[in-house]
Structure 1
Amino acid sequence: MSSDDPRGVLLRAEDDVAVAARPIPAGATIELPGGRVTAREPIGLGHKVAVRDIGEGRPVRKYGQIIGFASRPVAAGALVHVHNLRADLFERDYAYAAERPTVPAPDRPRTFRGFLRPDGRVGTRNYIAVISTVNCSASASRLIADRFRDSRLRDEFPNVDGVFAITHKGGCGLPFEGEDHGILERVLAGFARHPNVAAYVIVGLGCEGAYAQHLVETRQLTLLPPPGAGGAKGRHDGGPAPTVLNIQEEGGITRTVEAAVRAVRDLLPAANAWERTEQPASKICLAMECGGSDGNSGVTANPALGAAADLLISHGGSAVLGETTEIYGAEHLLTRRAVSREVGEKLVRRIKWWEWYTGVFGAKIDNNPSPGNKAGGLTTIYEKSLGALAKAGSTPMVDVVEYAAPVTKPGLVFMDTPGYDPPCTTGLVASGANVLVFTTGRGSVLGLRPTPCIKLATNTPMYERMADDMDMDAGTILDGEPVEAVGRRLFDRILEVAGGEPTKSERLGVGEEEFAPWTIGPTL
């Protein structure tokens, strides 16, 4: 493949398919390492073309791994997609901790300017949050935050990035102190304690199952102590109790809003007292997500993010990967990189749980990819998973944590989450991630306050079409730029954003509607 006119990408010599780096017309000759193949039909951008004849029932490989099995004979040069490829079950060799890689030392120390909190974590933003414990207080919480949308707020309090509302559709109709109650409280506490949140108020209705005082007491929530006042024992030691308002006790929405607005105004001077200082790259906890994926996600943006994650981890930082349903069929590549058999087995237990969980509802994990994914060239969950896993880079997997659990270890951490973008990113951010990189091939537009979201496009046509939403273009890899070079540019962008450079979603004001805690059980 020449760099000036690329048409197809063969990722491994043993692969049965190449990926279209641009639309390929029928009859075109595709030059590949070791030979050429003639397209028998049009091959769309990101779609797959067979590089050799494949017999019915035979495994089909991409990334050097099985992505499915031919459902009928496939001739060299034919389109390989849903009409001739199926996701049969197959055994994976987990080989726990058999291929644990080393982490290279960084070339030179890198830093960014962030808000150092008393527990040693560092904020990349400095927000005040209005936290709703139940959907019944969501509108009131939104009205409170709306009172602080005026741009003059930044003139008076330049170190405060804004006031935002955390609202959701749950908080009641769930088993009290059951699994969903625990998940919701873990998520809300994770956002309250987030290094990007300087202060918060909590707003409830008063009769909900997940009532506000239970959250405060169970999760031992306090506010940050004033800048410079804490740090010896940790962020929440010695801080004041948060303001908790219940609409029924306050006398309705209007009185609750006015009381909360006064509380937020009282918090603003202390929040503004926090200032950015020079901090090491090790203080970045990076959340990694892919959504609206296409056939080039695993060729360009995801490998570039993996390269950036490797660089961050070499500096002592953390990178958190989620989407358990979207590593299905590729999980053996992570278990081999686990630091121990125990860590690898934790991941496999979550895979087995998902097989049980989806079966309870008569669903199959291969209901994923979505129609949009398939239109972009992805065919099976195995193919999607292998491409998604490229975000994990090449370092050891140091831990597997439950949904929204705090991430405390440096290195690559896996979090058990759904594949659906809003609940997945909500869990990742609740863990304390202070930067989020979101790769997309079809054009997802997600943001999630209080964490800045960098969107990385997999292909240049989409990047140019959605330039107001995309922060970087990894499609240059299809034109010959090395993955490692794009990864280094992305790492530089992560440091810039961590230091205060706004992302496209932040400029557009996106990031409040996407908060969506995972709900596992029934609504009662």
Structure 2
Amino acid sequence: MATAIGDRAPAAVRLRESDNVAVAARGIPQGAAVPVDGLEVEARGPIRPGHKMAVVDIPEGAPVLKYGQIIGFASVAIPAGTWVHVHNVRADLFERDYAFASERPEAPVADRLRTFPGFLRPDGRVGTRNYLAVISTVNCSASVSKYVADRFRDGSWKREYPNLDGVFAITHKGGCGLQFEGPDHRQLQRVLAGFANHPNVAGYVLIGLGCEVGFAGHLVESRDLVTLGSAREGGRPVDPARPRVLNIQEEGGIARTVEAAVEAVHRLMPAANDWRRTEQPASKLVVGLECGGSDGNSGVTANPALGVAADLIVAQGGSAVLAETPEIYGAEHLLTRRAVSEEVGRKLVDRIKWWEWYTGVFGAEINNNPSPGNKEGGLTTIYEKSLGAVAKGGSTALVDVLGYAEPITRPGFLFMDTPGYDPVSLTGLAAGGCNVLVFTTGRGSVSGLKPTPTVKVATNTPMYDRLREDMDLDAGTVLAGEPVESVGRRLFDLILDVAGGSQTRSESAGVGEEEFAPWSIGPTL
């Protein structure tokens, strides 16, 4: 006999009327009678939170529908009440109708214009933080760069320079063993230049070895690297010291390079401290939209809430940037329909086709996702994961598709081509100029990335309670009845607070330097 589940928050949620599965909002025991949109479905086995239950019989070979979209196909007949997951669903290929620019939405209008205190830079961009960066051009100078930043960890300089948020090191595993002026070389230089020129960076020192492919002098001479301009003091421009370029081989070794770089940072501090926060319009927000460690609730709670916040950012005249190309696979047709033009839509499809080729070169498949942790959390196929991930992009028109770490220069909803691996994707978004990052997570990710503050949004309350010291917002309240729009508006307010200087949990924990991870697309030579 079925056991009825009480009348508190729904035990399972069907997201669209056409869906043949529902998502468990909490654990459902075997034999429980679960009410779903007027139906009463008896659970044939236990269903874990975030996992799916069939609400009607699904014949073998029939599409499995969630979000009103195909997330896979039944590999066997699935009776109503059955747990739906990798054991009975396969990710067959299927045709998508891209219908370019056929559903282009009207531009949203803000109900009122918002502001936040930020650092207005000479090029018109606005910083949400005010850092100095020590940038390693190659792995061979990574330790030296870290030693330099370590000299400023105690914060003793803060009394003299209270407007400076800190000194951080940008270190990585690349910079050599790659084709000179080849795709990897150009992309790494674009990433490093993006961090050097970032609106959250007031000045920088470059440190190289001296014989690497990506040598510092070449980066300085490239068109990617420019100076931010002058700081201001009392309304008058203050000429900053020219960015210092140091090579270990020329300086005479590790110790001498460290001392020279520490001195160079000290010389940059007065000009960096001259910057002041002033009230800036929310149109200056450039927000990267990321998800990682996802679960079955990601597309139900946190991602749609971030979509609401993204729409609010666009309505203010700001930029909201979605990424992770492999994790929109199977859902890209929802974006091409929203493109402002067929040209923009085709740019996205071209990136999908490139990824199909790229993964094939290595004998892999673009649809080999989700990860084991994603599956444990209830995600069955890449299509399901992608449909949930796309929800972060809200509902406004797609105005452009950018290459990895390409500068973000226009307002609206944009897409950046990045891998799905979170540190690499976040690095590309930050290099493009995002001044705030928002990271939704269901399993629990603790990432952050200097110099850009990272807001963490939990998809479910149990995980939020476990990781309170690392999460900034609980979107699991949606499962308890709070409207998605309400959570999205709270998230938008939090983004403004963080942009204005409120610390995120990852900043409080000191996270953000080790997570710098540029994308290497070619062979190491």
TM-score interval w.r.t. the shorter chain? over 0.9
Report 1:87-126 matches (<5 A): 87-126=91-130
Structure 2 CA distance for partners of 1:151 and 1:228, relative to 1, 3 Å: closer
2:145 paired with 1:144:
no
Is the CA contact 2:110–2:312 (under 8 Å) kept in the aligned structure 1? yes
Report 1:382-461 matches (<5 A): 382-461=383-462
2:213 paired with 1:212:
no
Structure 2 CA distance for partners of 1:97 and 1:145, relative to 1, 3 Å: same
Residue 413 of structure 1 aligns to a residue whose secondary structure is strand
Paired with 1:519 and 1:170, the residues of 2 have a C-alpha distance of 8
Is the CA contact 1:223–1:239 (under 8 Å) kept in the aligned structure 2? no
2:188 paired with 1:187:
no
Paired with 1:29 and 1:413, the residues of 2 have a C-alpha distance of 43
- State the AA in 2 paired with 1:152: S
- State the AA in 2 paired with 1:427: G
Match of 1:134 among 133, 138, 158: 138
Task: Give the structure 2 partner of residue 72 of structure 1.
Answer: 76
Task: Give the structure 1 partner of residue 257 of structure 2.
Answer: 256
The structural deviation recorded for 1:352 is 0.3
Paired with 2:435 and 2:279, the residues of 1 have a C-alpha distance of 16
State the superposition RMSD in angstroms: 1.7
- State the AA in 2 paired with 1:290: C
2:161 paired with 1:161:
no
- State the AA in 2 paired with 1:102: E
Is the CA contact 2:9–2:479 (under 8 Å) kept in the aligned structure 1? no
Paired with 2:198 and 2:387, the residues of 1 have a C-alpha distance of 31
What TM-score does the superposition give when structure 1 sets the normalisation length? Answer: 0.97
Task: Give the structure 1 partner of residue 312 of structure 2.
Answer: 311
Task: Give the structure 2 partner of residue 322 of structure 1.
Answer: 323
Residue 497 of structure 2 aligns to a residue whose secondary structure is helix
Residue 443 of structure 1 aligns to a residue whose secondary structure is coil
Paired with 1:280 and 1:313, the residues of 2 have a C-alpha distance of 12
Task: Give the structure 1 partner of residue 39 of structure 2.
Answer: 35
- State the AA in 1 paired with 2:477: T
2:28 paired with 1:4:
no
Residue 309 of structure 2 aligns to a residue whose secondary structure is helix
- State the AA in 1 paired with 2:192: L
Is the CA contact 1:4–1:480 (under 8 Å) kept in the aligned structure 2? no
Is the CA contact 1:369–1:380 (under 8 Å) kept in the aligned structure 2? yes
Structure 2 CA distance for partners of 1:3 and 1:471, relative to 1, 3 Å: farther
What TM-score does the superposition give when structure 2 sets the normalisation length? Answer: 0.97
Paired with 2:172 and 2:101, the residues of 1 have a C-alpha distance of 39
Deviations 1:331-389 (A, max 9, x none): 00000000000000000000000000001100011221000000000000000000000
Paired with 2:124 and 2:6, the residues of 1 have a C-alpha distance of 49
2:67 paired with 1:63:
yes
Moved more, 478-487 or 32-41: 32-41
Structure 2 CA distance for partners of 1:3 and 1:311, relative to 1, 3 Å: farther
The structural deviation recorded for 1:34 is 2.7
Moved more, 67-76 or 28-37: 28-37
Deviations 1:139-193 (A, max 9, x none): 0000000000112222221110000000000000001110000110000000000
Is the CA contact 2:475–2:487 (under 8 Å) kept in the aligned structure 1? yes
Task: Give the structure 2 partner of residue 286 of structure 1.
Answer: 287
Paired with 1:427 and 1:178, the residues of 2 have a C-alpha distance of 18
Task: Give the structure 1 partner of residue 21 of structure 2.
Answer: 17
Is the CA contact 1:222–1:242 (under 8 Å) kept in the aligned structure 2? no
Structure 2 CA distance for partners of 1:220 and 1:53, relative to 1, 3 Å: closer
Is the CA contact 1:138–1:168 (under 8 Å) kept in the aligned structure 2? yes
The structural deviation recorded for 1:423 is 0.6
Task: Give the structure 1 partner of residue 499 of structure 2.
Answer: 498
Task: Give the structure 2 partner of residue 227 of structure 1.
Answer: 231
Deviations 1:407-435 (A, max 9, x none): 11100010000000011000000000000
The structural deviation recorded for 1:227 is 2.2
Paired with 1:139 and 1:197, the residues of 2 have a C-alpha distance of 21
Paired with 1:64 and 1:5, the residues of 2 have a C-alpha distance of 22
- State the AA in 2 paired with 1:186: R
Structure 2 CA distance for partners of 1:175 and 1:224, relative to 1, 3 Å: same
Paired with 2:370 and 2:177, the residues of 1 have a C-alpha distance of 31
Structure 2 residues without counterparts, runs of 5 or longer:
none
2:511 paired with 1:510:
yes
Residue 400 of structure 2 aligns to a residue whose secondary structure is strand
Task: Give the structure 2 partner of residue 177 of structure 1.
Answer: 181
Is the CA contact 1:222–1:241 (under 8 Å) kept in the aligned structure 2? no
Paired with 2:241 and 2:345, the residues of 1 have a C-alpha distance of 41
Paired with 1:434 and 1:445, the residues of 2 have a C-alpha distance of 19
Residue 263 of structure 1 aligns to a residue whose secondary structure is helix
Is the CA contact 1:225–1:240 (under 8 Å) kept in the aligned structure 2? no
Paired with 2:226 and 2:306, the residues of 1 have a C-alpha distance of 35
The structural deviation recorded for 1:35 is 1.2
Is the CA contact 1:221–1:241 (under 8 Å) kept in the aligned structure 2? no
The structural deviation recorded for 1:222 is 4.2
The structural deviation recorded for 1:219 is 3.0
Structure 1 residues without counterparts, runs of 5 or longer:
none
- State how many pairs are aligned: 521
Residue 514 of structure 2 aligns to a residue whose secondary structure is coil
- State the AA in 2 paired with 1:488: R
Paired with 1:439 and 1:311, the residues of 2 have a C-alpha distance of 17
- State the AA in 1 paired with 2:60: E
Paired with 1:390 and 1:121, the residues of 2 have a C-alpha distance of 27
